[in-house]
Amino acid sequence: MTLALQFAMAAEATPFLERRGLAHAHTDPRYGFEFHEGDGLVVAIAGTHPRYRVDSIGTISAVLLTSTLLERYRPALVVNAGTAGGFQARGAKVGDVFLGAEVAVFHDRRIPLPGFEAMGRAHLPVHCDRALAAKLGLKVGVVSTGDSLDCTPEDLAQLTALGAQVKEMEAASIAWVCERHGVPLVLLKAITDLVDHPSATSEQFVKNLALAVGRLTDALEALMEQLP
């Protein structure tokens, strides 16, 4: 049985790859996606955009990467691990690690046309073992996805209406693809910044990235030990 891990940023994946000693196996020639293999695991990373020379974060690459990953490796389960924003008003702290709750949603797809509103927000299935979260000391919360690091008033209204506790840029798009393939998805997200904090998200993100990735890597190792 193959288990797949999907990351958006190399900085999020590297400590896990180093701890596990997983070898680089393949680079997708068109999109630059990176795949590492070993120990019954495949680790998929969005890679570097060839012109902008930064990690290909966000929903476009996430969808293509998940589709490529599922077609190429046919994993039994996908774990999407990464960093995210949290909400201090809902008890989140920098460095917390969340297991995604049973649905993932989008907060920046507003389509006020008859029938399209629900498809825009989407309610996409996520596998959530709350007993396991409690055992591993993980918080549980709804993960919401959009294509911006900042948060407009419209985004915030949607996040609040959806009961989101975690704001990031890939999970719901990965869930969209996993649902079509009938492959279960687990979300693991470490908090780098607080959306409702006065300092800029980008400053918090840069300052707290190493701490959050350390916590993410520890949580991922603990989660892997519990999976069959």
Contact set with ligand ADE (CB under 6 A): 83-85, 149, 167-169, 192-193, 195, 201, 205
Residue whose CB is nearest to ligand ADE in the complex, by number: 85
Q: Which helix or strand (DSSP H or E) is residue 181 part of? A: helix 171-181
Hey, what are 182's tokens? 């009938």
Which is nearer to ligand ADE, 31 or 205 (by Cβ)?
A: 205
Exactly one of 12, 34, 108, 155 is catalytic; which is it? 12
Instruction: Give me the amino acid identity at 72.
Output: R
DSSP reduced 3-state for 118: helix
Q: Say whether 12 is catalytic.
A: yes
Q: Which residues contact 167 (CB under 8 A, 6 or more apart)?
A: 84, 85, 86, 87, 107, 143, 144, 146, 151, 159, 195
DSSP reduced 3-state for 8: coil
CB of 212 to ligand ADE, least distance (A): 8
Which is nearer to ligand ADE, 58 or 75 (by Cβ)?
A: 58
- DSSP labels, 11-47: HHHHHHHHHHTPEEEEE-TTT--EEEEETTEEEEE--
CB of 205 to ligand ADE, least distance (A): 5
Which is nearer to ligand ADE, 73 or 87 (by Cβ)?
A: 87
CB of 224 to ligand ADE, least distance (A): 22
Which is nearer to ligand ADE, 17 or 195 (by Cβ)?
A: 195
DSSP assigned state of 170: S
Which is nearer to ligand ADE, 11 or 25 (by Cβ)?
A: 11
Exactly one of 34, 179, 193, 225 is catalytic; which is it? 193
CB of 75 to ligand ADE, least distance (A): 24
Distances (CA, A) of 64 to 43, 75, 80, 127, 160: 15, 16, 14, 21, 29
CB of 217 to ligand ADE, least distance (A): 16
Q: Say whether 39 is catalytic.
A: no
Tell me the C-alpha distance between 105 and 109, whole Å: 10
Which residues does the annotation mark as catalytic? 12, 193
